[in-house]
Structure 1
Amino acid sequence: MSQNNYSQVNRSNDPEQIDLLDLVLQLWRGKWMIATFVIVFIALAIGYLSVAKEKWTSSAIIAQPDAAQIATYSNALNILYGSAAPSMLDIQTRAIGRFNSSFSALSQALENQEDPEKLTIAPTTTGQPLPLTVSYTSTSAEAAQKQLAQYIQQVDEQTAKELALDLKDNIKEQIKTLNDSLVNQEKVAQEQKDLRIKQIAEALKNAEAAKITSPQLQQTQDVTQETLFLLGSEGLKSMIDNEASRPLIFSSAYYQTKRNLFDIQNLNVNPDTIHVYRYVMKPDLPVRRDSPKKAVILVLAVLLGAMVGSGVLLGRNALRNYKPKA
């Protein structure tokens, strides 16, 4: 028994053993010191909250434009390319795709500024290209909502102008193509006229050689190139004069090309009538700020203050009771 009592006393006097009850008593006796640290850390946290910049994020959800929002652009493409024009769905998809690209470029430019701005665009649902969620972070809820709406409008107007500019380039190219087609058709018609006159002139030579002056055929609809000279020299001379004075004869394709050219020349697409997105949800007014989080920071301040105060208290007591080993 005496040996066991001795070992228990010896263990209790061992400075390397941790006595939880003693720690609790030390913390209780130094509670005012710990409370002082907690108050100091709370004051620091309040000071940080008073000077820290607030961050509020406004978000909007957008999708491809309605048919009416892109109607003028679609109609222009239909006039330009006819049956080869892209479908309305293709045009809508391309429009929102260009909006996405331009918005991403703007986001990157804002991020690379000396004073960066946070503007993001991403699919609302993972794995689905549409709709898109766009967000902007600012120092106040109102500023975030207003600036996000302005950036969306800015990208919309920029993209509409780019589409209108592309359309003008396509119109110029199509006008050039149609004019070239008309010139070629006129050349063909002129060559056909010259060939017809040459054929009649050749028949006239044959008629003069055969000394045929008056028509030898009763039905002129049966005349072929080989029997043309039978119309007689007088009739053939009259035909040559008539053919020379007649205007060129064009096919229906020529006049269809003319109509297409006039329609395209009259095209005038105003960028203000083009919109490349549709709101599913307009920029919202955030009700909770992203940072700083008051409750979280105050709780952390209390915990850190208690931990630092406890550490200082226990460290001071340990140094006070420290006795070097013999």
Structure 2
Amino acid sequence: MSDNQFRNGSASAIDGITFLQFTRVLWQEKLIIFLCATVFITSSIVYVLTAQQWWTSDAVVTTSQYQNTADIRSELTNLYVASGDKSKIDDIFSGKEMLSQFITEFNSFDRKKEFIEQSKIMKNYTLDYENDGKGKFIYDWANKISAIQADRTQLDVYKLSFEATTPKLSQELLSSYSEFISGIVRNDIIYSLTAKVSHIQQMLNARKESLEAEAKLKLSLELSKTNYALDIAKSANALKPIPNMNDKEIFNINLGSEALSEKSKVLNKMTDLSVFEPSLSKVTVMLNLLSKFKLDKNESIQSVRYLQKPSLPLNRDKPQRSLIVFLSALFGIIVGIGVALFKYSSKKD
């Protein structure tokens, strides 16, 4: 009998079987079905008992509140005054901006890689590193770290997850990684504040230089006019102040040569340029405030607020034992029925 004839015959035999015959075949071949199911169930049980378990610790974060950054804000009083625009400093502490940066850094592959390579906890998996190679090891573990929106209706609420081989380890890794990311965000905030201070100082110094140049020019001009007026007053023998004299002349001699002489001496000795540029005093005060500004680079900054801190997982993610055993039993029964029907069709042919 050719293969085609055999297949056609088998198909005809199976297609023509009645429900009663079908149940009779299953009953007669129940041992085969039982053995197939038993083999698959046993294999699945061995697998689920020996397979690597995976547990996921979760945390939920949202935007920070004002009090979460109150400590460092209290150190910025001088900076607020010197900047002249409080909103520019407050933007650095925007809850939404800090949350966005936290989530971006949390999901960054480079940050995950950096943490995996540096973390003392990850040294538990050194053997995997040696067996799988560095690239695959890092890639596989990076995929076990994630931050996603917890609820589509709440755009500022995110769920953080870290998967590991034990419940305690997953919780420790999530806590450690979250602190690692918080440190990065904190350093960026400190850097932004430092850059802001440097920028304001540069602007004020440039403003101060400009005002000083203008004040020196005004001083020089006033001194020249005074000396010319002094020469004119001496030539006119005007020693004392002259009342009711037009004081709008370019070289005003109404003070008299004695007073003009003293004025010239004072102008020559003058060091306080704010007399000619009052704004210079304000700029100097601002620079003095900034010079006293000291930022504690170890100051704690809570960039996000935890609605749920890293939790100890109660349920295993992988393997799903009950589902695997159930599906294996079902597949074993199906295979057993297939074997029984094939045996029945072979006998009939």
Match of 1:274 in 2: 301
1:59 counterpart letter in structure 2: D
CA contact (8 A) 2:225 2:251 kept: no
- String of CA shifts for 1:249-288, please: whole Å, max 9, x gaps: 4154322222221222223242432221111111111111
1:228: Cα distance to partner? Answer: 2.4
User: How many angstroms apart in 2 are the aligned matches of 1:87 and 1:175?
Assistant: 15
Q: Quickly say closer, same or farther: Cα 1:215–1:196, change in 2 above 3 A.
A: same
| Residue 308 (1) aligns with residue 335 (2) | yes
Deviates more, 1:142-151 or 1:175-184: 175-184
CA contact (8 A) 2:233 2:239 kept: no
Match of 1:28 in 2: 27
Match of 2:44 in 1: 45
CA contact (8 A) 2:96 2:156 kept: no
1:226: Cα distance to partner? Answer: 4.9
1:87: Cα distance to partner? Answer: 7.1
3-state DSSP class of the match of 2:178? helix
| Residue 196 (1) aligns with residue 199 (2) | no
Match of 1:63 in 2: 62
Deviates more, 1:240-249 or 1:58-67: 240-249
User: How many angstroms apart in 2 are the aligned matches of 1:163 and 1:293?
Assistant: 43
Q: Which runs of 5+ in 1 are unaligned?
A: 1-13
CA contact (8 A) 2:162 2:173 kept: yes
User: How many angstroms apart in 1 are the aligned matches of 2:207 and 2:110?
Assistant: 46
Match of 1:150 in 2: 176
CA contact (8 A) 1:58 1:136 kept: yes
Match of 1:179 in 2: 205
1:20 counterpart letter in structure 2: F
**Normalising to structure 1: TM-score of the pair?**
0.84
Of 233, 256, 262, 1:207 maps to 233
| Residue 139 (1) aligns with residue 161 (2) | no
1:170: Cα distance to partner? Answer: 2.1
Match of 2:88 in 1: 86
Q: Quickly say closer, same or farther: Cα 1:143–1:66, change in 2 above 3 A.
A: same
CA contact (8 A) 1:74 1:91 kept: no
| Residue 245 (1) aligns with residue 269 (2) | yes
User: How many angstroms apart in 1 are the aligned matches of 2:184 and 2:111?
Assistant: 16
CA contact (8 A) 1:107 1:120 kept: no
User: How many angstroms apart in 2 are the aligned matches of 1:137 and 1:203?
Assistant: 88
1:315: Cα distance to partner? Answer: 0.9
Could you say which structure has the larger radius of gyration? 1
Q: Quickly say closer, same or farther: Cα 1:217–1:45, change in 2 above 3 A.
A: same
Q: Quickly say closer, same or farther: Cα 1:164–1:88, change in 2 above 3 A.
A: closer
Match of 1:321 in 2: 348
3-state DSSP class of the match of 1:18? coil
Deviates more, 1:269-278 or 1:108-117: 108-117
1:107: Cα distance to partner? Answer: 7.9
3-state DSSP class of the match of 2:156? coil
3-state DSSP class of the match of 2:94? helix
User: How many angstroms apart in 2 are the aligned matches of 1:161 and 1:19?
Assistant: 76
Match of 1:284 in 2: 311
2:39 counterpart letter in structure 1: V
**Identity %, equivalent residues:** 20
1:84: Cα distance to partner? Answer: 4.7
1:167 counterpart letter in structure 2: L
| Residue 100 (1) aligns with residue 126 (2) | no
User: How many angstroms apart in 1 are the aligned matches of 2:150 and 2:80?
Assistant: 32
Match of 1:7 in 2: none
3-state DSSP class of the match of 1:290? coil
CA contact (8 A) 1:125 1:131 kept: yes
Q: Which runs of 5+ in 2 are unaligned?
A: 1-11, 117-133
Deviates more, 1:275-284 or 1:120-129: 120-129
- String of CA shifts for 1:163-222, please: whole Å, max 9, x gaps: 11222222222212212222222222222211111111121232233x2242252479x8
2:219 counterpart letter in structure 1: K
- Could you say what the CA RMSD is over the residues aligned between the two structures, in angstroms? 2.7
Higher relative contact order, chain-length normalized (CA < 8 Å, sep 6+)? 2
3-state DSSP class of the match of 1:229? coil
Of 269, 284, 298, 2:325 maps to 298
CA contact (8 A) 1:164 1:271 kept: no
1:27: Cα distance to partner? Answer: 1.1
Deviating runs (4+, > 6 A) in structure 1? none
- String of CA shifts for 1:148-169, please: whole Å, max 9, x gaps: 1111110000110111122222
| Residue 236 (1) aligns with residue 257 (2) | no
1:85: Cα distance to partner? Answer: 2.8
